[in-house]
């Protein structure tokens, strides 16, 4: 079978039945990948012509926008034309399972905890990616994004405690410094794209702040001069956390600014009153050529993605991993 790769216009030969990823790697075509098992979405690419068998990678906001597939799971059926998105932004961090030790566990807000872990081996990831953490054997695995690596070289995660959640409702009582946790990662395709100067709009609700902080910090620490705007949405002031850190980032970097959007504000509150979609509508009339990073509940991701595309954002420059709440 002949596969024409866009945007490079290189044609490769591939055997019928092999996966797209196998064909790419055998022919020296670079593509982002990580888990090799259909879980992380990192190897997503787009079928322009021809057909492959395998699961669609198009969920929700992408479903209306062309045929996206996972290269590691899609088997070649015909001659095809395949587009590899952003070939200059390739990442390949193989997903690993590592042992990690709890270094600290503390309170960020009434229902958000900060967990710091030290892994037993080197762990590479791109800002914005996530891992699966297994706290104990039975049904104890949940997905959390890395908020970054701290000064003492530990990985930081933000965990929302869900009332009656099978795992998180027990954490305050059972999480102990020195405990061992299994970490499987990195996963996810919503990672920082570094090789561009496009303005960035980062939108987080709840503990979606963790990957968004990681992306903002990754961009600023690597010297990216892009204008970076963050909208952090919450229901009330009591649900906010991390503002000291955001203030420090904003005062140290003139290209970064953030605004808080609250469903309910107190009288004289300095914060924007409304949903993150209202904040987009009021502050960002034209998002053509922007990069948009979204992290939070699926309903927010869908609504914010729609609000951005209505303001001319390119759907293929909107990055978000699907997270479904689990306690």
Q: Interface with ligand FES includes 41 (CB under 6 A)?
A: yes
Q: How far is the CB of 38 from ligand FES (least distance, A)?
A: 5
Give the binding range for ligand FES (CB under 6 A) out of 41-49, 78-86, 131-139, 256-264.
41-49
Who contacts 111 (Cβ-Cβ below 8 Å, separation ≥6)?
Answer: 160, 161, 239
Which residue lies nearer to ligand FES by CB, 143 or 309? Answer: 143
Residues 139, 166 contacting (CB under 8 angstroms): yes
Question: How far is 115 from 126, CA to CA, in rounded Å?
Answer: 19
Among 14, 23, 29, 43, binds ligand FES (CB under 6 A): 43
Residue 131 engages ligand FES in binding (rule: CB under 6 A): no
Q: Is 39 in the site for ligand FES (CB under 6 A)?
A: yes
Question: Measured between alpha carbons, how far is 94 from 22 in angstroms, rounded to an integer?
Answer: 15
- The DSSP call for residue 310 is H
- Looking at beta carbons only, is 38 or 199 nearer to ligand FES? 38
Instruction: Give the Cα-Cα-Cα angle 28, 31, 35 (nearest 5 degrees).
Output: 115
- Rule CB under 6 A: which of 174-213 touch ligand FES? none
Give min distance, CB of 301 to ligand FES, in A: 19
- Check binding of 70 to ligand FES (CB under 6 A): yes
Which strand ranges, in their side-by-side order, compose the sheet holding 228-234? Answer: 272-273, 256-262, 228-234, 200-205, 291-295, 318-319
Interaction residues for ligand FES, span 8-37 (CB under 6 A): 33-36
Closer by beta carbon to ligand FES, 31 or else 112: 31
- Smallest gap from Cβ 59 to ligand FES, in A, equals 12
Cis ω for the linkage preceding 234 (within 30 of 0) = no
Residue with Cβ nearer ligand FES (47 or 72): 72
Please identify, using beta-carbon distances, which residue of 38 and 87 lies nearer to ligand FES. Answer: 38
Q: Which is nearer to ligand FES, 143 or 265 (CB)?
A: 143
Question: Smallest distance from the beta carbon of 70 to ligand FES, in angstroms?
Answer: 5
Q: Contacts with ligand FES: how many residues (CB under 6 A)?
A: 12
Contact residues for 63 (Cβ-Cβ < 8 A; gap 6+): 56
Q: Interaction with ligand FES in 240-269: which residues (CB under 6 A)?
A: none
Distance CA 91, CA 58 (A): 20
Whether 181 and 117 have beta carbons less than 8 Å apart is answered as yes
Q: CA 305: distance to chain centroid?
A: 14
Shortest distance in whole angstroms from residue 158 CB to ligand FES: 23
User: Based on CB atoms, which residue is closest to ligand FES, 70 or 183?
Assistant: 70
Vertex 65 angle, CA 35 and 208, to 5°:
55
Residues paired with 226 in a beta bridge: none
> CB of 32: closest distance to ligand FES in angstroms?
8
End-to-end CA distance of the chain: give it in Å, rounded: 46
Q: Does the protein bind ligand FES through residue 69 (CB under 6 A)?
A: no
Minimum CB separation of residue 187 from ligand FES in Å reads 7
Using the minimum distance from each CB to ligand FES, give the nearer residue, 57 or 200.
57
- Indicate the burial class of 130 (C-beta count within 10 angstroms; 0-12, 13-18, 19 or more): buried
Nearer CB in complex with ligand FES: 36/281: 36
Q: Which residues bind ligand FES (CB under 6 A)?
A: 33-36, 38-43, 70, 72
């Amino acid at each position: 079978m002949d596969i024409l790769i866009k945007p490079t216009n290189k044609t490769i030969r591939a055997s019928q039945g092999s996966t797209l990823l196998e064909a790419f790697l055998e022919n020296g075509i670079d593509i982002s990948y990580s888990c090799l098992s259909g879980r992380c979405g990192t190897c997503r690419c787009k079928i322009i012509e021809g057909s492959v068998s395998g699961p669609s990678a198009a969920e929700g906001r992408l479903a209306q926008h062309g045929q996206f597939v996972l290269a590691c799971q899609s088997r070649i059926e015909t001659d095809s034309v395949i587009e590899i998105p952003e070939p200059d932004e390739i990442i390949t961090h193989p997903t690993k399972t590592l042992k990690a030790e709890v270094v600290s566990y503390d309170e960020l807000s009434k229902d958000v905890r900060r967990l710091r872990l030290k892994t037993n081996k080197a762990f590479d990831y791109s800002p914005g990616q996530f891992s699966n953490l297994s706290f104990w054997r039975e049904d104890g695995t949940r997905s959390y994004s890395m908020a970054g690596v701290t000064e003492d070289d530990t990985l930081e995660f933000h965990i929302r405690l869900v009332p009656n959640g099978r795992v998180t409702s027990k954490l305050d009582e059972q999480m102990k410094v020195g405990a061992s946790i299994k970490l499987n990662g990195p996963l996810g395709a919503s990672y920082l794209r570094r090789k561009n100067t496009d303005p960035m709009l980062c939108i987080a609700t709840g503990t979606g702040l963790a990957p968004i902080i990681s992306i903002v910090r990754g961009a600023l620490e690597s010297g990216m001069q892009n204008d970076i705007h963050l909208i952090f949405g919450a229901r009330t002031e009591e649900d906010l956390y991390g503002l000291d850190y955001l203030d420090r980032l904003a005062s140290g970097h003139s290209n970064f600014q953030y605004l808080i959007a609250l469903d309910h504000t107190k009288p004289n509150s300095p914060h924007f009153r409304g949903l993150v979609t209202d904040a987009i509508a009021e502050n960002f009339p034209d998002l053509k050529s922007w990069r948009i990073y979204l992290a939070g509940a699926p309903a927010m991701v869908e609504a914010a993605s729609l609000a951005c595309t209505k303001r001319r954002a390119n759907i293929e420059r909107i990055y978000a991993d699907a997270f479904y709440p689990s306690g």
